[in-house]
Amino acid sequence: MFQSFAAESSTETGAVRLAALRALMAIEGLAAYIVPQTDAHQGEYLAPRDARLAWLTGFTGSAGFAIVLARKAGVFVDGRYRVQVRTEVDTAAFTPVHWPETKPADWLAEHVPNGGRVGFDPWLHSQKQIAELEAALEGHGLVLWPTRNLVDAIWADQPGTVLAPASIHPIEYAGEASSAKRARLAEALRGAGHKAAVLTLTDSIAWLLNIRGADIAHNPVVQAFAVLHDTGQLTLFAAAAKFSPDVLEHFGPEVRLRPFAAFAPALRGLVGPVRVDPASVPRQVVLEFDEAGVEVAFADDPCILPKACKNPVELAGARAAHRRDGAAMVEFLAWLDAEAPKGGLTEIEVVRRLEGLRAATNALREIAFDTICGAGANGAIVHYRVSEASNARVVPGEILLVDSGGQYADGTTDITRTLPVGPPREDARAPYTRVLQGLIAMTRARFPRGVAGRDIEALARFPLWLAGQDYDHGTGHGVGSYLCVHEGPARLSRLSEVPLQPGMILSNEPGYYREGAFGIRIENLMVVVEAAALEGADARAMLAFETLTLVPIDTRLIVAEMLTGPERDWLNAYHARVLAEIGPRVSPEALRWLVDACAGV
């Protein structure tokens, strides 16, 4: 359940493994080979056997890819990982490349000779990724070449397939029967003239079938593929050993279970048009259809939007999960505030204490992700994962960033708090206040229906921009209902064009990071709701956010005179709500701490 603190990679193995891959590339006649950080389900979090990028390069971040050439190997990472990648890879063998500023097609065109073949495993790249890369390479004389997985071919001790048991996600938490979901989506397929839809996202399949699993650490999903027919019947392709008689009975007669190996042949026998999502379906699926002459209809995964818009039962569960999680967090923060200034804690001890307090709720199924606990300079590594090798002491006078979450049967939580250890560090106070102002601005936003994350994301950045500061990650991601902590399709990001809709749960997490010094991030989860009516307002439908997270925001780093009246009012009202809802749920010692933490600013 809990995270391991063993080092997941080493800079010492990269050069040897790179040489083995290059030798195989030469045999295959490839000038380049792409190694993505994903699996056949386009998952961000991976089973051990699918962690090919980490095995080859040492880079363990959740996003990125490598392009290996005969004499050069680039590891492409975005702004979240530019500090981390330099600590994890052998920079004598691998060159960190800033992405998306540097496009892979431009990099390939610059470094690969005309006529060179660029190899890729078509099961690990989506149709959209390959189509876009093909278009960008047009005119450069390079050829994208589907091939077997070359990393698997040289990975002698590659872990085996996980066969964790699936479980039923009961109606009391799901709020809608699987049969009703399948009927609803089948009706939409018929309306669009589609005979079937291919599902490859593991959380879509888990949501549709009302099941959960343990194939991926911290993400309660089952690795599977599925085909949903316009009749509401569904064929599930997965290892039979995962499904008990109770789960098979839960499926009912309209769900047929077949082995993984039957998936590709079954695609060739479908009658089109078959709906596939180019953003998530493996390129190999489209190749199978093309070779069999099956008509393809490119459209969004039919589960992705219904899954994101939580129903009333799921929202009630989310609120309950956040009250429970909020109480555990308050117990943790009260303990931390008493112990950290003594100078005896390490990052690992902090993580273990938090895990234990969540487990003490007797409702925790899993942590939602490896806790990010960064003391001092480690806080500036956006997705820092503490290991026994990196474990730092929590030193008085520094800043501690803790980003964590829990998986409960009724909801998934994700919260970040940034805390001074002892006397507040003066140079962190102004940026901390700006980050808080950004969080408050996003929380208070009202916006018309049809507005997407990209349209309002700047609200969270504006206070930092005024000071010439910014952060290199999105402001918010979607969150599942006892599913993946990162869930599409909506985000608070300049890249997100998906209109926000009621029932969507999103994180709100602006930050600021000073390399070598500290990191600041404040994160609450929010749900999109219908906005309350305002006197004198236009007659137009408006939406707003309801905050789900109920944990005090540390006030000791705030420069109070920087806050406006409405910002101060929001913070005081939030803390009054936290005290009222969480106070009755905590120990007397934690309650005394909570009263002080929720005092007015």
The mean pLDDT of 422-431, rounded to a whole number, is: 95
pLDDT of 11 above 80: no
Write the single-letter amino acid at 324: R
Contacts of 338 (CB under 8 A, 6+ apart): none
* Same-domain status, 55 and 89: yes
Residue 162 lies inside a defined structural domain of this protein:
no
Q: What is the CATH number for 483?
A: 3.90.230.10
Domain boundary among 154, 186, 208: 154
501 and 451 assigned to the same domain: yes
Q: With pLDDT > 90 as the criterion, what percentage of the chain qualifies?
A: 92
Cα separation, 45 vs 367, in Å, equals 13
Residue 273, preceding peptide bond in cis (omega within 30° of 0): yes
Instruction: Please tell me the distance from the alpha carbon of residue 73 to that of residue 57, in angstroms, as a whole number.
Output: 9
CB contact at 8 A, 502 and 309: yes
Q: 390 with 300, same domain?
A: no
Q: Establish if 249 belongs to a structural domain.
A: yes
Residues 337 and 279 grouped into a single domain: no
Q: Is residue 370 part of a domain?
A: yes
Select from 180, 162, 172 the least CA-distant residue to 220.
Answer: 162
274 and 361 assigned to the same domain: no
Whether 6 is in a domain gets the answer no
In this structure, the answer to whether residues 400 and 462 fall within a common structural domain is yes
Cβ(440)–Cβ(574) below 8 Å: no
> For 43-98, what is each residue's pLDDT tens digit?
889 999 999 999 999 999 888 999 999 999 999 998 888 888 898 999 999 999 99
Residue 316's pLDDT is 98
Domain boundary residue, one of 114, 130, 154:
154
* 416 and 534 together in one domain: yes
The string of pLDDT tens digits covering residues 254-276 is: 999 999 999 999 999 999 999 99
Q: Are residues 254 and 387 in the same domain?
A: no
Q: Is the pLDDT of residue 300 over 70?
A: yes
Same domain assignment for residues 486 and 507 = yes
**Confidence (pLDDT) at 78:** 87
Q: How far apart are CA 309 and CA 480, in angstroms?
A: 10
Average pLDDT on 507-515 reads 97
Structural domain for 293, as ranges: 167-307
> Quick check: is 149 in a domain?
yes
Rounded-to-integer distance, Cα 402 and Cα 392, Å: 13
Q: How many domains does the chain have?
A: 3
CB 98 within 8 A of CB 90: no
Q: Rounded mean pLDDT of 543-569?
A: 98
